[in-house]
Amino acid sequence: MPSKKIIQFLDDIKANNNREWFHANKSRYETYKQEYHTLIENVLAEMIPKDISLANLEPKNCAFRIARDIRFSKDKTPYKTHMGIWLSPGTKNTNLAGYYIHIEKGASFIGGGVWWPNAEDLKKIRKEIAYFTEDLDELLADKNFKKEFGSLEHNDTIALKNAPKGYEKDHPAIEFLKLKSFTAMHKLDDSLLTDPDFVQEIAQKLILLKPLNDFLNRALTTED
**Per-residue pLDDT tens over the stretch 28-63:** 999 999 999 999 999 999 999 999 999 999 999 999
Helix (H) or strand (E) segment spanning residue 4: helix 4-15
Enclosing domain of residue 21: 4-221
pLDDT in tens, 110-154: 999 999 999 999 999 999 999 999 999 999 999 999 999 999 999
- Give the mean pLDDT of the chain: 94
Q: Domain of 83: which CATH number?
A: 3.30.930
CA 24 to chain centre: 31
CA 98 to each of CA 16, 51, 79: distance values in angstroms, whole numbers, following the listed order: 32, 11, 24
Q: What are phi and psi of 111, to 5 degrees?
A: -165, -175
Does the pTM exceed 0.85?
yes
Average pLDDT value for residue range 156-178: 95
Average pLDDT value for residue range 195-213: 97
Q: Count structural domains, the chain.
A: 1
Q: Which of 115, 54, 47, 39 is CA-nearest to residue 84?
A: 39
Burial bucket for residue 83 (CB in 10 Å: 0-12, 13-18, 19+)? buried
pLDDT at 224 > cutoff 80: no
pLDDT in the model for residue 1: 76
Q: Which of 62, 93, 114 is CA-nearest to residue 54?
A: 62
CA distance 29 to 36: 10
pLDDT at 176 > cutoff 70: yes
